[in-house]
Amino acid sequence: MRFPRRYRDPRDIETAAFLAATFAFGRVSQIHRFLERLFAELSPSPHEALCGPRPVPFRRVAGLSHRFISPKGVHRFLGCVRKALLAHGSLEGLYRRGTGESVDLREGLSGFLGGFRRAWGKDLPRERDFLFPDPWGGSACKRHNLFLRWMVRGGDGVDLGIWTVLAPGDLVVPLDTHMARLGRWMRLTRRRGADWKAAEEITRAFRSVCPEDPLRFDFPLTRIGILGECTARRRGRCRACPIAPVCAAREGELAVAVPSPLG
């Protein structure tokens, strides 16, 4: 989140947020190093860098790779974002066109990411499918739901809230490993895998408590896992955990009988 907040122009904020969310996988330190180098190449305005008279030349990203995403994949990714911005004026414009008359987030996100997939072509299919997954294929699309959370929610100092195409109540939780584990332990989902259906089940549970803004619970819960306060290997601190009263995995204790939102 720190990268989009470096900019004041909404066009730069939106572009920076999409780049940062897309590459938000792996160790945090590794993500930050890669993004620092990427934004250094796109400074002072990532939007202008991508929408200039000519595409970003490969030589500017030839030394940039992140995990299994090669420099060629990074360059192809930037080219897809450029095409979307030039064709639709903004990423919100692309999302709005992909949504059509539907208000279903899964369908809207599929249309949004499908625009990038078509621009990518058939080369490097593994990198394409990872950077632009298809929610109808079962992917939880964690990074892209995170991007939508940043763009749509606002007013609490956490998210940016610069899009109007969606309302906070339409969003689906960005299902990372921490939220997937906590969702099972809090009995918000019965699914073992971190897939789209699990994300929908957890969101449905949150929505039953706060229908207008179900993702208000996402940041505080995932921070428990990100900060190492609750992990599969460190359950000795359960008594001090704020979700202990509703957790089914409290070490050495039976879970308190709290009705599950799933029924």
Domain segments of the chain as ranges: 4-164, 172-246
User: Which whole number is the average pLDDT over 55-73?
Assistant: 95
d(CA 140, CA 121): 23
Return the residue matching tokens 């739901």.
145
Bridge partners, 195 (sequence order)? 139
Q: Which residues contact 116 (CB under 8 A, 6 or more apart)?
A: 80, 81, 84, 131, 132
d(CA 239, CA 160): 34
Report the half-sphere exposure of 102 (CA within 13 A, side-chain side).
Answer: 13
Q: Tens digits of per-residue pLDDT, 178-197?
A: 899 889 888 899 898 899 99
Q: Which residues contact 151 (CB under 8 A, 6 or more apart)?
A: 14, 17, 92, 159, 160, 161, 162, 163, 166
C-beta separation of 120 from 113 below 8 A: no
d(CA 140, CA 133): 9
d(CA 247, CA 245): 6
C-beta separation of 4 from 16 below 8 A: yes
The one-letter amino acid code at 120 reads W
Return the residue matching tokens 């290997």.
233
> Residue 78: its pLDDT value, please?
98
pTM of the model: 0.89
Q: Which residues contact 246 (CB under 8 A, 6 or more apart)?
A: 186, 187, 255, 256, 258
Helix axes 71-88, 10-22, angle to 10 degrees: 150
Range of weakest confidence among 3-17, 96-110, 205-219, 239-253? 239-253
Q: Phi and psi dihedrals of 135, rounded to 5? A: -60, -25
Q: Select the more confidently predicted residue: 199 or 246.
A: 199
> Residue 240: its pLDDT value, please?
67
Task: Kindly report the average pLDDT of the chain as a whole number.
Answer: 88
d(CA 195, CA 179): 12
Q: Tens digits of per-residue pLDDT, 77-94?
A: 999 999 999 999 999 999
pLDDT at residue 259 greater than cutoff 50:
no
Q: Select the more confidently predicted residue: 121 or 153.
A: 153
Quick count: other Cβ atoms within 10 Å of Cβ 185?
A: 18
C-beta separation of 204 from 261 below 8 A: yes
C-beta separation of 243 from 222 below 8 A: no
